[in-house]
Amino acid sequence: MNTFCVALTAAACAVLLAPAALAAHGKAGTWEVTTKMSGGGMAGMPDMSKLPPAAQARMKAHGVSMNAGGGMTSKFCMTAEQVNANKPPMTRADSPCKTENMKVAGHSFSADIVCTGKVNGRGHTEMTFDSPEHYSGHQTMTMTVNGHTIDHEMTMDARWLTPACTVPAPGKH
């Protein structure tokens, strides 16, 4: 697997692992988010079954699995404290990506994403919470990896699974 795909996967995971419920918009517990990605490099997303066993184990330990067609499914835990926070933790604490310009209006949320380091880029995320147990969203991103510029889009569909936390909470990896 080339460095380009690894960096692209890492950038996507950094943002995906913790798209979280907003205060009064979601429930504490385990959530599952399925994403579909398109754009530059998405056809090169790795088949998880072909990754080295150690890489597969790390992804599975964080509740991440790759789907056919350039997507992934991940699970994450939202604590009651995170659900009640004014701002959702969109990225892991150790992520090279940070959020800016967060806005909450009714049942909608939007934020800009800025990534620095091995992957540099900017993007925008919008999510709509149609119930305390479901949200959907859309993200666009332009990244530079190894001197190559990549534009990609991602759609998200998340659902609450259980009040038990079966995977680490965002930032607890």
Please list the pLDDT of the chain residue by residue as tens digits (173 residues): 444 444 444 445 444 434 454 545 678 899 888 888 776 555 445 555 666 778 767 776 766 666 656 678 888 888 888 777 756 556 566 778 888 898 888 888 899 999 888 888 999 999 888 888 998 999 999 988 888 888 888 889 999 999 998 776 554 44
Q: Rounded to whole angstroms, how far apart are CA atoms 127 and 21?
A: 10
Planar angle of CA 75, 71, 68, nearest 5 degrees: 115
pLDDT, residue 83, reads: 78
Strand, coil or helix: 123 = strand
Looking at the whole model, is its pTM more than 0.75?
no
Residue 46, φ and ψ in degrees, nearest 5: -70, 150
Planar angle of CA 42, 139, 148, nearest 5 degrees: 45
Candidates 87, 114, 88; CA nearest to 33 is 88
